[in-house]
């Protein structure tokens, strides 16, 4: 088996990032994913630079382990091909704006009528209903609207996260929703419609920043790389650059303080509230000590003392890091136009399953094979009938 979802067929009507990243993950888990693209293809095929040999690296990031078929859903013949796929499918993922599926003749009631066992996963920007349910929602817009930018970046300068984190959070919720619905189907025999949004995914990830307001009525503000509730916890300068330190409890504090020449029981910093109140003074004391040695020396000392600390790596350093590669976080695929390329790998590993990854498909690369497979399945059904 190629993964725990071997035998599951996913029809992927999604585009851009959230839906495609989710279906890529389902493909990583062993599902067969058929990417249905409108004429012209997923718009990320044209997003760049950078391009590699004319291929968008953006598109390459979230479309491995898929087959591509081009269907004009306004064409009755192509719509029929899609419905034939739906009849065979276990999951359909879509991220059209609210109402588009109905206008295409693919309303959720219609899909479940065609295939009562189908799990339909719908992803929107701000939710499918409510006063702003029809708004388009790209990642950067939702990062602002959902409060993420207000707690990110230097004080007074709202900043977005440097990756499409709203999309990625939504993608993980899509996967969770699909897996839960598939599990429930084993008991009920029926599929259902599952919904999530970029807004829901970011708000659902607020965590302690959310309860600062909902419970304590304190509006969080951005603190740069500092932690609002912990100190020392953030980025610190040393002789040749910067490093991250995370002193998350008293036990770690008592191990950390002597390494940088501080007394753990110094009344200025003895308890967490003291350290948080006196953060600038504490940071100055720490950086005065750190200035004496380069980063690698300090990382070794903190490791020996059992203090969480780390480098701040550029992405080229991350992908060259042996720890990254040891976790299967870089995969090699043979692309039909680019040859052998490396892609960021899946976050999950299963003992007993070894997935051979396929490259992101060319536009319509599998048109003929998918249509032939559908014809074979129809012939088989007629024979069995």
User: Which domains can be identified in the chain, with CATH numbers?
Assistant: 9-205+327-384 (3.40.50.10540), 233-313 (3.30.1540.10)
CB atoms within 10 A of CB 7: 12
Q: What is the mean pLDDT of the chain?
A: 96
The arithmetic mean of pLDDT across residues 261-275, rounded, is 96
Average pLDDT over residues 151-172: 96
Backbone phi, then psi, for 33, in 5-degree steps?
A: -115, 120
**Does 167 qualify as catalytic in the annotation?**
yes
pLDDT of residue 363: 97
DSSP structure string for 85-100: HHHH-SEEEE-PPTTH
Task: Summarize the confidence of residues 165-182 as an average pLDDT.
Answer: 98
pLDDT over 60 at 200, yes or no: yes
Give the residue from 240, 245, 234, 233 showing the smallest Cα distance to 293: 240
pLDDT in the model for residue 385: 65
Average pLDDT on 170-182 reads 98
55-68 burial string, b = 16+ CB within 10 Å, else e?
bbbbbbbbbbbbbb
Burial of 350 (0-12, 13-18, 19+ CB in 10 A): middle
pLDDT at residue 354, as a whole number:
83
DSSP string, 187-251: HHS---EEEEEHHHHHHTT-THHHHHHHTT-------TTS-SS-SSEEEEEETTEEEEEE--SHH
Q: Which pLDDT value is given to residue 247? A: 98
The answer to whether residues 283 and 349 touch, using CB atoms and an 8 Å cutoff, is: no
pTM listed for this prediction: 0.93
Is the pLDDT at 339 greater than 90? The verdict is yes
CA-CA distances (angstroms) from residue 254 to 17, 257, 259, 262?
44, 6, 10, 9
Q: Is the dihedral of CA 314, 320, 323, 326 positive or negative?
A: positive
Q: What is the pLDDT of residues 71-113, one digit of tens each?
A: 999 999 999 999 999 999 999 999 999 999 999 999 999 999 9
Name the token pair of 30: 């062993």
304-319 tens-digit pLDDT? 999 999 999 999 999 9
CB atoms within 10 A of CB 115: 19
d(CA 278, CA 283): 9
Over pLDDT 90: what percentage of the chain? 94
Task: Tell me the pLDDT tens digit for each residue of 289-298.
Answer: 999 999 999 9
Query: What would the pLDDT profile of 227-251 be if each residue is shown by its tens digit?
Result: 999 999 999 999 999 999 999 999 9
pLDDT band of residue 382 (cuts 50, 70, 90) is confident
Cβ atoms of 262 and 287 within 8 Å: the answer is: no
Please report which confidence band the pLDDT of residue 225 belongs to, taking 50, 70 and 90 as the band edges: very high
Of the candidates 265, 25, 3, 234, the one whose C-alpha atom is nearest the C-alpha of residue 121 is 25
Does 143 score more than 60 pLDDT?
Answer: yes
Q: Which of 167, 226, 240, 266 is catalytic?
A: 167
- Could you tell me the two tokens for 257? 């303080």
Residue 192: partners with Cβ closer than 8 Å, 6 or more residues away: 112, 119, 120, 181, 184, 185
**The predicted structure's pLDDT at residue 341:** 97
pLDDT of 383 above 90: no
CA distance 385 to 380: 8
Percent of the chain with pLDDT over 70: 99
């Amino acid at each position: 088996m190629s993964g725990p979802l071997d035998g599951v067929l996913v029809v992927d009507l999604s585009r851009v990032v959230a839906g495609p990243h989710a279906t890529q993950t389902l493909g990583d888990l062993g599902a067969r994913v058929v990417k249905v693209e409108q004429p012209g293809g997923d718009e990320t095929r044209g997003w760049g630079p950078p391009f590699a040999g004319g291929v968008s690296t953006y598109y390459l990031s979230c479309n491995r382990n898929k087959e591509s078929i081009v269907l004009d859903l306004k064409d009755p013949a192509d719509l029929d091909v899609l419905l034939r796929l739906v009849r065979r499918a276990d999951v359909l993922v879509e991220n059209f704006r609210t109402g588009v599926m109905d206008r295409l003749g693919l309303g959720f009631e219609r899909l479940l009528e065609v295939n009562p066992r189908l799990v339909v996963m719908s992803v929107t920007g701000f939710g499918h209903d409510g006063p702003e349910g029809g708004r388009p929602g790209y990642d950067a817009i939702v990062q602002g609207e959902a409060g993420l930018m207000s707690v990110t970046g230097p004080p007074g300068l709202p900043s977005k996260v440097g990756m499409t984190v709203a999309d990625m959070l939504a993608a993980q919720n899509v996967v969770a929703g699909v897996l839960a619905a598939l599990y429930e189907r084993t008991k009920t025999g029926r599929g259902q419609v599952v919904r999530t949004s970029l807004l829901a995914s970011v708000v659902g990830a607020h965590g302690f920043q959310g309860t600062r307001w909902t419970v304590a009525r304190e509006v969080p503000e951005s603190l740069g790389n500092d932690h609002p509730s912990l100190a020392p916890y953030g980025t610190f300068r040393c002789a040749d650059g910067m490093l991250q330190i995370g002193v998350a409890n008293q036990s770690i504090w008592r191990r950390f303080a002597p390494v940088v020449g501080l007394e753990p029981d110094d009344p200025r910093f003895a308890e967490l509230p003291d350290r948080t109140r006196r953060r600038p003074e504490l940071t100055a004391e720490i950086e005065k000590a750190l200035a004496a040695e380069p980063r690698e020396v300090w990382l070794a000392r903190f490791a020996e003392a059992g203090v969480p600390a780390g480098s701040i790596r550029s992405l080229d350093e991350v992908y060259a890091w042996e720890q990254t590669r040891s976790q299967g976080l870089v995969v090699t695929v043979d692309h039909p136009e680019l040859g052998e390329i490396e892609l960021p790998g899946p976050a999950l590993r299963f003992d007993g399953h070894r997935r051979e990854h396929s490259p992101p498909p060319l536009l319509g690369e599998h048109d003929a094979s998918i249509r032939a497979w559908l014809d074979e399945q129809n012939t088989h059904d007629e024979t069995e009938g």
